[in-house]
C-alpha cells in the first residue's frame, strides 16, 4: 500500500523548513503570491529550499502570476514543482513543460471530473475550499462533494489539522495531504509541535488503512 504523502505549505523560516523535514514531510510549499501573508521572494525561497535534503520537493504556489516570476523561480530553484491556484488554463500550466499541481476550488456544483480531465497533464489535482479571492482560507470543504473516483492523483487540502486529517485520509484516500494554517502559531509562522502532530496523525491514518486491508 502506498503511504500518504505530506506537504507543509507556506513556509517562511529556516527553522520551519528543518522541522518539516524532521517530521517527515515529502514537500514544502513556497508562496509566490504577494497578497498572501506567507509570501516569499524568489531569493528568500531559494534560501529556504537550499536547506532541503534529497527527495524532499520544493513546490512553488502561483496565482495568475506573470511569466517572468515563474521563469525567475525556476531559474533560482531548478527542482521546483509548480502549483497553480488562480485561473490558469491547461495551456498556461503546461507552458514551462514542468511537473505541476492544479488547485480545484471545491463548491457545490463544481464538476471535478471535467476539471481533472481538462488538466490531465497535471501530476495531481489539489482539492481546496472555495472562498472569495484565492486560496482555501483555512476552510474545510464538504468531502461528500467528491465523486467516487477521480482520474488523477488527489492532494487533499483546505482546513486540515492534526484533529481532522485522519478522518480526511480515511474518507478521501488521497495521494497526499497539504496543510498550512493548521500547523501555524500565526500566519506564516509554523508551530513545531503542530507539524509533528500533523505528520504523526497522517501516519496513524495510514496504519489504520493497512490494518483494514489485512482484516
In this structure, are residues 93 and 119 in contact, taking their beta carbons and an 8 Å threshold? yes
CATH number at residue 62: 3.20.20.70
Per the annotation, the verdict on 9 as an active-site residue is: yes
In this structure, are residues 59 and 40 in contact, taking their beta carbons and an 8 Å threshold? no
| pTM for this predicted structure | 0.95
pLDDT at 136: 55
Per-residue pLDDT of the chain (215 residues; tens, 9 = 90+): 589 999 999 999 999 999 999 999 999 999 999 999 999 999 999 999 999 999 999 999 999 999 999 999 999 999 999 999 999 999 999 999 999 999 999 988 899 999 999 999 999 999 998 776 666 567 899 998 899 888 889 999 999 999 999 999 999 999 999 999 999 999 889 999 999 999 999 999 999 999 988 88
Say which of 9, 26, 178, 199 is annotated catalytic.
9
Structural domain of 24: 5-214
Residue with cell 488554463: 89
Q: What gap in Å lies between CA 10 and CA 89, rounded to an integer?
A: 24
User: Helix-strand-coil percent breakdown of the chain, rounded to 5?
Assistant: 35, 20, 45
pLDDT at 148: 86
Q: What gap in Å lies between CA 178 and CA 65, rounded to an integer?
A: 21
Per the annotation, the verdict on 16 as an active-site residue is: no
Nearest alpha-carbon partner for 180 in 65, 35, 31? 31
Number of domains in the chain: 1
Residue with cell 476552510: 139
Say which of 16, 128, 178, 199 is annotated catalytic.
128
Nearest alpha-carbon partner for 40 in 139, 154, 188, 150? 188
Amino acid at each position: 500500500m502506498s503511504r500518504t504523502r505530506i506537504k507543509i505549505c507556506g513556509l517562511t523560516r529556516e527553522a520551519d523548513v528543518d522541522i518539516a523535514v524532521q517530521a517527515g514531510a515529502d514537500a514544502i510549499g513556497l508562496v509566490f503570491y504577494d497578497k498572501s501573508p506567507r509570501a516569499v521572494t524568489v531569493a528568500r525561497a531559494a534560501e529556504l529550499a537550499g536547506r532541503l535534503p534529497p527527495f524532499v520537493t520544493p513546490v512553488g504556489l502561483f496565482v495568475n502570476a506573470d511569466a517572468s516570476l515563474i521563469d525567475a523561480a525556476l531559474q533560482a530553484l531548478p527542482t521546483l514543482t509548480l502549483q497553480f491556484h488562480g485561473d490558469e488554463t491547461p495551456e498556461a500550466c503546461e507552458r514551462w513543460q514542468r511537473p505541476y499541481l492544479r488547485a480545484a476550488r471545491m463548491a457545490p456544483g463544481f464538476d471535478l471530473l471535467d476539471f481533472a480531465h481538462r488538466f490531465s497533464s497535471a501530476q495531481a489535482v489539489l482539492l481546496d475550499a472555495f472562498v472569495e479571492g484565492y486560496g482555501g482560507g483555512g476552510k474545510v470543504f464538504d468531502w461528500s462533494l467528491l465523486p467516487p473516483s477521480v482520474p488523477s492523483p488527489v492532494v487533499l487540502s483546505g482546513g486540515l489539522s492534526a484533529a481532522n486529517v485522519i478522518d480526511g485520509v480515511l474518507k478521501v484516500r488521497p495521494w497526499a495531504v497539504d496543510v498550512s494554517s493548521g500547523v501555524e502559531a500565526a500566519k506564516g509562522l509554523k508551530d513545531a509541535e503542530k507539524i509533528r502532530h500533523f505528520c504523526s496523525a497522517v501516519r496513524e491514518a495510514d496504519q489504520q488503512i493497512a490494518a483494514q486491508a489485512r482484516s
